[in-house]
Every structure is written in structure tokens, then in C-alpha cells.
Chains A and B, each alone.
Chain A
């Protein structure tokens, strides 16, 4: 073993090294993902059930003005709901790797350690993209219509960006709680109020007055409203910028937070 010179000559690493590490880690997580197709299936069935349930069961009793069909109102909401629900998987994945010692191995390697987290959040964002595509297709099958395909693509882009931001929230969360079961149970706590106290399934106007200031301005509502505007061809206005601003603000806080926790072990 000692006969061959070690890689010690490159103690500090440059940019291309980071790309290499991120690609390796993303590949590893995607390989794992596709070897457990049941996870993808369940992760997709759940939002599809939400689309069907809200459209056919609650749709008739939800009051809102405007001349759009409920399904056109609902699909943007479900896309964002998927973004947040799926983000919990990042916490589960990270805690699983922690517990099985995979993270220890990666931390003992002369790699860019942040690549472990980027690879994880990348793979989870790709998975969310897949789920969102399927939901959009199901939406079209049961009556969702838009004349603005560019707006739809941009809207899904907003949902993916928000999903990516929340992946980092849950990466940090997973690194702090460390236990997969705790991660699974805890991940939904912040997600539920954000998804339901929002314009996701019903207009905020129907909610009590004290809740409206929060419900009107939080990341889920502004993103859902922006996607609705984009798919219906109305100007998204401040919602578009607020949504992008929220995502970047979340990334700005949680990337350093998760990285620091990862480095400390």
C-alpha cells in the first residue's frame, strides 16, 4: 500500500473537484432512488390522490370567485404542496446515511464535504421534478387546461426552486435530529401549517381575519399564486419575485447552517 504515493499532494481542492464530487454523490443518490421504485411510486400516488380527492370531493364545496375551473385553481396548489411534502425525504435520507455510517465514510474522504449535501438535495429535487411532471399529466387528464405553456414551465420551475430550498431546510433538520424516525415524524410539523394555511386548496379570503396576513404572504401562497397567474396568463406581479426571493433567502440561511453542522459531525 505504501509503495504508491498517496493523494496527499493535493490537500486543497479547486472548483472542478467540487463538480466531480457533486456528480458522484448525485449519481449515488439517484442509483439508490431507482433501486427502490416503491418509494417513487408512493411519493407520486399521494399527490395524485390529493388531486383527485380535492377536485372531486371538496372541489364542489370550496367557494371562490373568479371564472376559472377548480381544477385550474388546484393543480398549481398541488405542485407546491408536492414540493414541500417531498422535501421531508431529504431529512429521512440524511439521517439514514448518518445512522448507517455512510456519512462517516464520506467525511473521512479527501472530498468536498458539501458535495454530500448538494448531491442529496439535487437527487431529491430531481425526484420532486419527476413527481410534479406526473401530477401535471394527471391534471391534464382530469380537465386542467392552460393556454400558456411557457408560463406552466416557468411555474413548475418556481415549484422546483422552492422544493430545492426546502430540501436544504430538511437537510439541516436531519443533521440536527440524526434519527430517521424522528426525522419522519418531525418533518411534517413545519410543512402542514405552510401548506394548509395558504391558498393551496382554497382562497385565503375564506380564512379567519387573524390568519390572513400570514396566509397571504408566506412562501407557499405567493408561489401558488404566481403559478396560477402564469398558467392563466395574468401578470404574476409581486408574487413571482416574492417566491424567488423566499427560495433564495431560505437557501442563504440553510446552506451555511447545514454545512456547518455537517462539518462538526
Chain B
């Protein structure tokens, strides 16, 4: 459904997207995961015909973005991280104008606007100015605008970036419902959890290049799964904690000497945690903390770039991943 073929985008000397090729079959939800500045939005702009690539091309729904951009535009729905909705219009007006621009007859534009409002639980707020909407409502309306054209391909560019956790969960519920209807979706995100939650396949991108591909489980596997971390109260216990965690873990133990944290990758979360708790308790070690950590995007990047790249790359990935 989406076929990206050797796309590069140069901004002066900077390669924002560097020879990316990607195939997304019909009805697949593909997560494009990467830190700020990885080139996700630039790639989205190319596919959405907003930006001409410096080289390469993309075929969306059988149409070439260069030769037939208007055909591509009628296949796609784009919802952006900036929530491109009009503050000074009501929610309904926003959607009706988008409908009009799809050349829909007035009644049909109205009907589809009503549908989208209903689906995104905005019916009650439909006739209020968007200026009065909350952040989550704006994102939902933006999403609604991308549905008015009944697109075959939905492009969601960081749909939850900048939202608080509760609003993010709420939006996920809507997104899950949409993707379950069998649309082809390209979703960009900075959050592994989000890609995990919504996508079938994840492509990891950094510095404009694809650095990994796979399901969420496969990617987490490369990190080494979940981690059990234990923090002893006394520095003298570090060695003993290390020995005990080595037994429950499924990979190499890491010790952070300055912050007194010992961590180990584990296969089965709860079982490993219970075992660790028991053995640490039996050994009489006083802990300030004992926890299971899910691998973060930082960890994925560390694991992946650490394998293929240099320390410098790892540091770069870390700093980027840390920014919001």
C-alpha cells in the first residue's frame, strides 16, 4: 500500500532522511519509532506530498507521489503532531470545511462531519469554538479531520506527543478502534510503548536511517526484555546483590556504582521479581528500591546503536532520546 523507494531528503549538508526504503502492505499498522530529529516527520511529509524528496520516490496506493500527487492526496488522511485545527472555528465547521475541500456535496460533508464527531466523542462540543477545547479534544478533532475523506491510508504523525498520560491513554483507545477497522496506518512516535500498543510492525529510525525492523517483542528481545532492578541501602551489599540477581536473571548484570543500582534482564517478569525479593530478603539485605522496568526507547536505542555503531552514536542517540 505504501512503498518507499530509496528516499533521501537533504536540508543543505544535513541528510534528514538518508536512503530509506520501506514496504507497508495493505491493512498493516506500521509504527515508525525514533527520537526527535530522527527524520520521522520529514519522511511523513514526503509520503503526504508536502515535501519533494531530494532523491528516490514513494508509491502510495498505486500512485507515485511525484507524478500523481493529487491521487495520492485523495488516498491519505493526515493527522499531525501540531493538531492543525482552526481555533476560531467550531469543531463542526472545521470538519465541514475539510469535507467541502474533498468536493463533497454539502449534505454529505455534514453527515461525515457528524459521523467523525460522534466517533471521537466530540458531539457535545461540536458547536463550540476549538479555542475552548482541551489538548486531547484538539487531537481528536485533528484525527476526525483526517477521517472525513474516508482515507485508505491513515498517516498519524506523533498523535500523542505532548499529551499528559491520562489523555494519551484516552486517545490510544480511539486510535486502537480506528486501526482495528483494517486501515493501512503509518504511525510515527517517540514512545516504544505507543508503537507496542498500536502497531503490528515497528521500524526504528535514527539520524534519517532505518536501524531496525520487527515486531515490538522482537525489538524488546534485542534489549533483553524487562529488567529487574534492586538498590541496596549500603554500598557494601552491592557485590552480594549482584550475585543474587545473576541467578534470577537471563542476561548480564549491570551495576551502577554511583547510584547503587543493580539491574538484570529477565524473561518472566513477576516470577523473577518474586524470586529476587525472596533471595534478597533471605540474605538479609536492606533495599531502598526493588522494581521491574520495561525497556524504554532509550534502552532500545542503546541496544541497537550500541551493537552496530560507535560509542559516539550511542551518546548521540541517548541525548536525542532524552529530549521531549
Q: What are the residues of chain A within 8 A of B151 when measuring CB–CB? A: 1, 6
Q: How large is the interface on B (under 10, 10 to 19, 20 to 34, 35 or more residues)?
A: 35 or more
Given contacts A1-B152, A28-B97, A100-B82, contact A7 B48 (CB under 8 A): no
A21 — nearest CB in chain B belongs to which residue?
B101
Q: What are the residues of chain B within 8 A of A27 when measuring CB–CB? A: 97
CB <8 Å contact, B70 and A1: no
Q: Which of B146-186 contact A (CB under 8 A)?
A: 147, 149-152, 154, 178, 181-184
CB <8 Å contact, A2 and B84: no
CB <8 Å contact, B147 and A111: no
Whether B129 sits at the interface, judged by CB under 8 Å, is yes
Selecting from B71-79, B227-235, B275-283, B304-312, the interface stretch reads B71-79
CB <8 Å contact, B61 and A8: yes
Which of A21, A105, A109, A110 neighbours the largest number of chain B CB atoms within 10 Å of its CB? A105
A binding-site residues for B, Cβ under 8 Å: 1-2, 4, 6-8, 10-13, 17, 20-21, 23-25, 27-28, 31-32, 35-36, 100-102, 104-111, 115, 264-265
Instruction: Please tell me which one of the listed residues A35, A110, A115 contacts residue B102 in the complex, with CB atoms under 8 A apart.
Output: A110
B binding-site residues for A, Cβ under 8 Å: 26-27, 45, 48-52, 61, 63, 68, 70-71, 73-76, 78, 80, 82-84, 86-89, 93, 97-98, 100-103, 129, 145, 147, 149-152, 154, 178, 181-184
Which of B68, B70, B93 neighbours the largest number of chain A CB atoms within 10 Å of its CB? B70
- Shortest Cβ gap from B109 to chain A (Å): 9
Q: Count CB-based A-B contacts (< 8 Å).
A: 120
Q: What are the residues of chain A within 8 A of B61 when measuring CB–CB? A: 6, 8
Q: What are the residues of chain A within 8 A of B87 when measuring CB–CB? A: 100
Task: State A205–B222 Cα separation when bound (angstroms).
Answer: 82
Q: What are the residues of chain B within 8 A of A11 when measuring CB–CB? A: 63, 68, 70-71, 74
A17 — nearest CB in chain B belongs to which residue?
B103
Instruction: Please tell me which one of the listed residues B48, B86, B88 contacts residue A108 in the complex, with CB atoms under 8 A apart.
Output: B48
Q: What are the residues of chain A within 8 A of B86 when measuring CB–CB? A: 28, 32, 102
Q: What are the residues of chain A within 8 A of B83 when measuring CB–CB? A: 101
CB <8 Å contact, B84 and A109: no
CB <8 Å contact, B152 and A108: no
CB <8 Å contact, A36 and B147: no
- Shortest Cβ gap from B82 to chain A (Å): 4
Given contacts A107-B50, A109-B149, contact A8 B71 (CB under 8 A): yes
Q: What are the residues of chain A within 8 A of B88 when measuring CB–CB? A: 31-32, 35-36
A116 — nearest CB in chain B belongs to which residue?
B101
Q: What are the residues of chain B within 8 A of A4 when measuring CB–CB? A: 150
Task: State A2–B147 Cα separation when bound (angstroms).
Answer: 11
Which of B26, B87, B93, B102 neighbours the largest number of chain A CB atoms within 10 Å of its CB? B102
CB <8 Å contact, A101 and B89: no
Task: State A109–B51 Cα separation when bound (angstroms).
Answer: 14
CB <8 Å contact, A1 and B84: no
- Shortest Cβ gap from A115 to chain B (Å): 8
Q: What are the residues of chain A within 8 A of B181 when measuring CB–CB? A: 1-2
Q: What are the residues of chain A within 8 A of B149 when measuring CB–CB? A: 6-7, 109-110
Q: What are the residues of chain B within 8 A of A20 when measuring CB–CB? A: 100, 103
20 A-B pairs, CB-CB below 8 angstroms? Answer: A1-B150, A1-B178, A2-B27, A6-B151, A8-B152, A10-B103, A11-B71, A12-B70, A24-B101, A27-B97, A31-B89, A104-B45, A108-B48, A108-B49, A108-B50, A109-B98, A109-B149, A110-B74, A115-B101, A265-B45
